[in-house]
Amino acid sequence: MNRAHKQTGYQGRRLFLLMCMGLAAMLLVWKAVCLQVLDKEFLLTQGQARHLRVVDLPAHRGMIQDRNGEPLAISTPVESVWVNPQELADEQQRIPELTRLLSLKHASVKSTLASRADREFIYLRRHVDPALAAEVEALDIPGVYLQREYRRYYPDGEIAAHVVGFTNVDDLGQEGLELAYEDWLKGEPGAKRVIKDGKSHIIEDVESISRPSPGKDLRLSIDRRIQYLAYRELKAILQEHKAQTASAVVLDVKSGEVLAMVNQPSFNPHNRQNLRSNDMRNRAVTDVFEPGSTMKPFVVATALQSGRYLPNTPVSTAPGWMRVGVNTVRDVHDYGQLDVAGVIRKSSNVGMAKIALSLPAEEIWTQLSDMGFGVQTFSGFPGEASGLLPHYAGWNAIETATLSFGYGVSVTPLQLAQAYAVLAADGVKRSISFLHGAEAAEEHRVMPARIAQQVRSMLEQAVGPDGTAPLARIPGFRVAGKTGTVRKSVAGGYSDNQYLSVFAGMAPVSDPRLVMVVMVDRPANGKYYGGQVAAPVFARVMAGALRLLAVTPDNVPLLQTRRGDGEEPA
């Protein structure tokens, strides 16, 4: 009886256990049905809310190229390190390891994370090298991630820095043509929906929302070969003469395109930690100066158009000075009797003052205004200055006289180059462009061709053996140009020992192709005349540019010894 009772109890417990196991199995089956059938949509929604994300697809910025397709600015893919402070909060002991790798100050990073603990995204370091990015990823620290971005690279460095400009860390244009053509160059980022795991790693692409649209390429008028020539020579002359700054512009006469534009000192667009704002300024476009004697050809053009003068009309400059009211205009020498061409050749201030004072002020002002003085060239470069050309209604005798040899008026190197391009183009003024072949240059006639050719002939004499700029001559080519030696304006008047050295010229004279302006500010090594300092830069750069462009020589080789004559600062 006792054995039967025990057997019955054992079977009861066995049955109970089986019932429990069956019930558990049924519960598991029911739970599976609920998860996979009844609550499927809810659970999918909750899972997606936790792991389905929309991420940006970065778009690279358009390339900037020179006129021959050579790269001047390129965007390269890089990684940036970012953190989620909420996830990183449990990994405090690993932060020193991360900061050491990224060369960051531990205390500063810790303070930043503490002050922004409620955020989910903080950049730790932007644009790291691929090798460093791989090391960060290998640390596998929860809350530390990489993000693909683009960094701008400038193959020519400081050679074209002032023209091309640069972008900031977000790849947005900040200076130069990078800024001017921001809307053209910038790309439009895309987006895609992805699934991320618990460590925010993308494990599956779900769908593409929008495709990234890269920025459009920009082809400049700059010829990087000529740009390098100008950069090299300008840097050398700055060092040789211990000058403060210098600028140079090379224009294509036929199209109005800027082939080279250089300033010294320049800057490295890849290293801007200690960069000063003055170093970034494209002084050839944004800074103005009094042009001195380089203004004389345009006043002479006005005189020739008036009909009162011919190239051989005599002008007396004796005794080498003249009184204008209470002021005195002087020449460096007493040149005696000159003709109009001789006034240009010898750069006589007295001769120019006499010519200007014999003309109606309105005619001079109109001619200078038509040449582009006092207004922007509308090249599209950011921050372009308009210069200064006072209205003739306010001129008195001494202002008229001094304006004839380039005082009381201010220009940019680009403006002066455009004006000389008018003389080179037989009196046709063409719009200035930094883009290659974008559209036909706007042009209109501002001077009769005959007058422009006569002035050009005078400028060729100025580069001759008896002129002020024989050092501007180029073997095999006829050259025309004009020097300027300008006293620097200081408080209370003009300095007696600070000068601007200027040269503006063109070649070849028979069919001008290129115009170049060189300006050197405050040379301090004993020489300061435009014919001594600026003219040799013109000769070296222009010779190389003509050769690179395969321009046919129009003169037998020059065998004469070249020397720089002096001129009265003007």
pLDDT number for residue 559:
42
Residue 182 within a domain: yes
Do 150 and 261 sit in the same domain of this protein?
no
408 and 462 assigned to the same domain:
yes
Residue 563, domain member (yes or no):
no
The DSSP code for 529 is -
448 part of a folded domain: yes
Together in a domain, 386 and 503: yes
**What pLDDT does 192 receive?**
57
Q: Are residues 203 and 232 in the same domain?
A: no
Rounded (to 5) percent helix, strand, coil in the chain: 40, 25, 35
Peptide bond into 523 cis (omega under 30): no
Per-residue confidence (pLDDT) for residue 560, from 0 to 100:
46
Residue 462 near residue 345, CB atoms below 8 Å = yes
**Which contacts of 520-524 are long-range, i.e. CB under 8 A and separated by 24 or more positions?**
520/237, 520/238, 520/241, 520/243, 520/245, 520/246, 521/243, 521/244, 521/245, 521/246, 521/289, 522/243, 522/244, 522/245, 522/488, 522/498, 523/241, 523/242, 523/243, 523/499, 524/241, 524/242, 524/243
Report the alpha-carbon distance of residue 486 to residue 469 in Å, rounded: 15
Q: Is residue 26 part of a domain?
A: no
**Catalytic residue annotation:** 293
260 with 292, same domain: the answer is: yes
What CATH number does the domain containing 178 carry?
Answer: 3.90.1310.10
pLDDT of residue 57: 65
Which CATH number does the domain housing residue 458 bear? 3.40.710.10
Domain boundary among 185, 219, 253: 219
Q: What is the pLDDT along the chain (570 residues), one digit of tens a residue?
A: 566 666 666 777 777 788 888 888 888 887 777 667 666 666 556 555 555 666 566 678 999 999 999 999 999 888 888 888 877 777 788 888 888 888 888 788 888 888 887 787 888 888 888 888 888 888 888 888 888 888 899 999 999 999 999 998 888 999 999 999 999 999 887 665 656 555 555 555 555 676 778 889 999 999 999 999 999 999 999 999 999 999 999 999 999 999 999 999 999 998 877 777 788 899 999 999 999 999 999 999 999 999 999 999 999 999 999 999 999 999 989 999 999 999 999 999 999 999 999 999 999 999 999 999 999 998 999 999 999 999 999 999 999 999 999 999 999 999 999 999 999 999 999 999 999 987 766 889 999 999 999 999 999 999 999 999 999 999 999 999 999 999 998 887 889 889 999 999 999 999 999 999 999 999 998 899 999 999 999 999 999 999 999 999 988 654 444 444 456 676
Do 179 and 231 lie in a common domain?
A: no
pTM (two decimals): 0.83
Question: Does residue 153 contact residue 73 with C-beta atoms inside 8 Å?
Answer: yes
Say how far residue 269 (Cα) sits from the centre of its chain: 10
Phi, psi of 338 (to 5 degrees): -125, 160
Residues 198 and 312 in one domain: no
Whether 180 is in a domain gets the answer yes
CA 249 – CA 430 distance, rounded (Å): 16
Q: How many helices (H) and strands (E) does the chain have?
A: 20, 21
Number of domains in the chain: 2
| Same-domain pairing of 212 and 229 | no
Judge if 243 and 121 occupy the same domain: no
Q: Which domain holds residue 539?
A: 224-269+278-548
| 120 & 247 share domain | no
Report if residue 559 sits inside a domain.
no
Verify that 301 and 169 share a domain, yes or no.
no
Q: Within this chain, do residues 474 and 339 fall inside the same structural domain, yes or no?
A: yes
Distance CA 244, CA 268 (A): 18
